[in-house]
Homo-oligomer: A and B are copies of this chain.
């Protein structure tokens, strides 16, 4: 049944591209209050689009911040599953504007790419879904499945009100599974399933010694140096094999299966030496760098400071020293439990002569993972392959996406991350763009996916 929809996309390509350009030309920058009317205009655009193509129920919801678009289609019948589609219509600021080769809000096609702020993140990817809905509705008169649409306008400012909406309107937004297209492929034209995200937690350690900075000649030899004490504590937490040596840290972490190791090996992935300038990669003993970044928890000191930081020398024993630490977590690790384990370890490891405070960061998230052989995932991989003519690779990512954690937390449903971005899209930077080829193949993928899910 996908033939007619594909034909519609092909026949209407130019009009659809014009529609996308119109959507991208609205400067819906969410951080800046001067764009408040533009944000509203983008929301209005979506509301009208969804009404025009025949969704049953379209709402512009007041979140307290920027409006959220909700829409529902339920005519696929009770035997068809219901998908929750999430995306966002707000975009990053455009500074530094003088580095753009064309106006960020006057979309321009150059060398097969569409240049505009939001072309990849996320208005372009949202539009691909809308266009596919339109194709089905206008060619076949219906969608293969039931749908709920949730498009927010605050993603680039931390999705401030989304959790409340998802939590308070659970019945309205509930679905059998969720689909999100706000991520990318490991390489252009390389279909990529993102089937796991890491969780996250953080602490700050403050080591306090003398009540003021001391003369190192007068007091060196009598007083514990807080920076050195902090060094001893931190060194006891991760060894040179990049293994975290905090008791219980790996409890509940499942080892990487042979299948996962194979999936990870199949990913071409980044040349870390080239992209970061390091001479060699370093990863947890027994795991490759790709395995560690994708599938194993990490412990990183994000910042550390104490004492004199100016030019030359100041011969003091500093009064305090501070380290900021975050961990990326995998399934089986609870952020709060990890914080407690870290805190306990730190107090046990602290040398005499100093006092140590541990501050637990409030921001934390659990890891997310869907099994790669889940039928919803396998069908996504097959749809990709049909459209791109290439085997799909499976990746897990070290980052966190709050909305994924929240949908998992509140709805407990599988989440399919169908990303179409490419590594060259320059998200958040000047000259953001998206390949027209990915636009076509991405829409084709979605047409196949909705049809295949129905089967």
Contacts and interface: CB of A to CB of B under 8 A. Distances in A.
Interface of A: 198, 200, 202, 209-212, 214-225, 227-228, 231-232, 234-235, 238, 240, 242, 272, 276-284, 287, 289-294, 296, 298, 300-309, 312-318, 321-324, 326, 328, 351-355, 361, 363, 397-400
A276 B219 CA distance: 9
A309 B305 contact: yes
A202 to B, nearest CB: 5
B228 A301 contact: yes
A294 B214 CA distance: 15
Given A272-B222, A293-B221, A231 B301 contact: yes
Contacts of A209: 278
Contacts of A216: 298, 300, 302, 326, 328, 398
Copy number in the complex reads 2
A157 to B, nearest CB: 16
B278 A224 contact: yes
Contact of A353 (B224, B280, B321, B322): B280
A200 B216 CA distance: 10
A338 to B, nearest CB: 14
Given A219-B272, A276-B210, A282-B353, A303 B293 contact: no
A228 B321 CA distance: 15
B234 A278 contact: no
A6 to B, nearest CB: 35
A304 B227 contact: yes
B312 A223 contact: no
10 pairs of A and B residues whose beta carbons are closest in the complex? A221-B292, A211-B277, A217-B399, A303-B307, A220-B298, A217-B398, A303-B308, A222-B289, A282-B353, A210-B276
Contacts of A323: 227
A348 B129 CA distance: 57
A283 B221 contact: yes
28 contacts: A210-B277, A211-B276, A211-B277, A212-B276, A215-B398, A215-B399, A216-B298, A216-B398, A217-B328, A217-B397, A221-B284, A221-B294, A222-B276, A222-B290, A223-B281, A223-B289, A231-B231, A300-B315, A301-B306, A301-B307, A302-B313, A302-B317, A302-B318, A303-B316, A304-B307, A304-B321, A305-B309, A314-B324
A396 to B, nearest CB: 11
A234 B234 CA distance: 11
A398 B318 contact: no
A288 B283 CA distance: 43
A398 B303 contact: no
Given A217-B399, A276-B214, A227 B351 contact: no
